Structure 1
């Protein structure tokens, strides 16, 4: 499998491509990383250095890859945080060009906009761009529960309302929707869930909730789920494998006492997931 991953990069820590590439490589995926920023560290520290890469320069990198004749071999285009409107258009154009070369290629979009605690933390134009231009051309999207509501103009909280919001998202274009950070009022204490739906059904998986805020964990989740889903074509299996891998990554990071994801140290969790969680079918 070859994945063209258009995301941010940091020298220190693990977010964007700096979170997604290694776990994908560890499960045997060939990754072509294209950077949208090249920062010293993620912005959660409040200070960072390095450039945002001009969308025209990102387009040039993509054109160079295309000129090598690689686009027909691309199985998946993966994108995450979009810092501005310009990069969104570059991604949409890249998706069209890859799919023209390989109609079987899938586009997986992680529509990063914010979370329930912080609210929306992207520029006001980004949610509009995602709703109107990006999500409609995606095959797979991986929003958290807050982002799902923001995308669809709904308020998902219960399983039923979250499924309704998923249906609204699927009506926008993508056939497969993974919802992360699902929090419903009637769930067991100290747990958190992920839910996935595609044409074959819907499943939910529950894991313990760890007392940790780990920047980049969503990027790892989106990457691993996308690769597992495209490889197996089985939403339940992909959900269970992803939940297993990401939980063990977060548990290792929490036990280490470090702020940054212990991405390399947790590599066996991606290569050989313990499969300690079973997804429950909802429909």
Structure 2
């Protein structure tokens, strides 16, 4: 597949496109990254250099790619951290143009806003734009549980809440939802889950929870699931298979990173896990 990935870039570490591009390439996909910010490192360090990239520049880059004939070849558009509120228009314009040129193309939106521990860490205008304008145009969305609650306009605590919120988000327009970092009060201690749902069903997969924070893990998860699911978009069982494959790869990546003692994802060192993960976690149908 040819994947146009519109996300942030950091020179040091792995978040945004700096997390998503290599695993996708390792899976054999052609990836064309377009950056929404150009930073030295992710903002979790508290200090960074660089700046957001204006939406006009993002649009100019995409327009020039179209002149090369590239947009007609795009199979998937993937967007993540947007940086500035004006990036939404550039993304939506790109998606519309890609789909006009290739009606079979799909759009994955990773609606990056924040998480349960940190709260919202983006420009306050961005969550509203995501919910009202961007997510309705997406075929697949990949929120964490905190972001899912915002998009659905409800509190999400239990598995039943999560499924109800998934249905509310799918009613906005997306045909499939991946929920990362699912926490439920009745879950077994020391575990964490992910949930995938589309018109054919919903599945939950659970793994041991590794006790550390890994910036960029959501970006890798969104990229891997997009790649695995998009190859068989909407087919029965494709969400289940994509969820199991993504979970196995992510668990091995996070395990490798945790064991290394490093703060940044060991993205290169764990590269075989994207292609042939040894771990397996069964995705259980929940409806």
Correspondence for 2:242:
238
Correspondence for 1:4:
4
SS at match of 1:179: strand
Q: Is the 8 A contact 2:36 2:53 kept in 1?
A: yes
Aligned partners of 2:221 and 2:179: how far apart in 1? 10
Q: Does 1:280 align with 2:284?
A: yes
Aligned partners of 1:40 and 1:281: how far apart in 2? 42
Aligned partners of 2:107 and 2:148: how far apart in 1? 18
For structure 2, the 5+ residue unaligned runs are none
Q: Is the 8 A contact 2:191 2:209 kept in 1?
A: yes
* Distance apart, 1:232 and its partner CA: 3.5
* Distance apart, 1:35 and its partner CA: 0.7
SS at match of 1:28: coil
Correspondence for 2:81:
81
Q: Deviations over 1:17-59 (max 9, x none)?
A: 0000000000001000001111111111111111211110111
Q: Deviations over 1:2-31 (max 9, x none)?
A: 000000001100000000000000000100
Q: Is the 8 A contact 1:149 1:155 kept in 2?
A: yes
For normalisation by structure 1, the TM-score amounts to 0.99
SS at match of 2:206: strand
Correspondence for 1:267:
271
Q: What's the C-alpha RMSD, in Å, of the aligned pairs?
A: 0.8
* Distance apart, 1:245 and its partner CA: 0.4
After superposition, residues 28-177 of structure 1 pair within 5 angstroms as 28-177=28-177
SS at match of 2:15: coil
For normalisation by structure 2, the TM-score amounts to 0.97
- Which 4+ stretches in 1 moved above 2 angstroms? none
Q: Is the 8 A contact 2:252 2:279 kept in 1?
A: no
Aligned partners of 2:129 and 2:183: how far apart in 1? 26
Q: Deviations over 1:178-200 (max 9, x none)?
A: 00000000001000000010010
Q: Is the 8 A contact 1:34 1:61 kept in 2?
A: yes
After superposition, residues 215-226 of structure 1 pair within 5 angstroms as 215-226=215-226
For structure 1, the 5+ residue unaligned runs are none
* Distance apart, 1:275 and its partner CA: 4.5
SS at match of 1:51: strand
Q: Does 1:251 align with 2:255?
A: yes
Aligned partners of 1:278 and 1:162: how far apart in 2? 19
